[in-house]
Amino acid sequence: MKDLDKTLKALADINRVRILKLLEKREMCVCELAYVLDVSQPAISKQLKKIAKAGLIDSEKDGFWTNYFIAPKDEYAKKLLQLLSNWLNDEEVVREDLKRSEKASRESLCCRK
């Protein structure tokens, strides 16, 4: 029951859902997600921590960056992510996020001088 509770709580925030919708398409770093959602990097990091704690995503170091990607840790997470992949695809904010993500280049976003 605890796994279900933490998974549902992670999905109870629109920005966390938007992050998951983006990660369905490709792995992304914090700076890319911050750019797409137009939210600060610390705020995105906080949301990623909650999503990871719920067992929905994982991360992997890649040189300078940390890549975040969908990685369900339990059956509740797996099933809810499968459902989410079919939901909200026609929502304007999701479509706009996906469109903006095409312009999100970690090299230009994260390495500005």
Contact 74, 5 (CB under 8 A): no
State the architecture of 2-101 in CATH terms: Orthogonal Bundle (1.10)
Token pair of 82 as six digits? 């499968």
Q: What confidence tier does 113 reach under pLDDT thresholds 50, 70, 90? A: very low
Phi, psi of 70 (to 5 degrees): -65, 130
Query: In this predicted model, what pLDDT tens digit does every residue of 34-73 receive, in sequence order?
Result: 999 999 999 999 999 999 999 999 999 988 889 999 999 9
Phi, psi of 112 (to 5 degrees): -65, 140
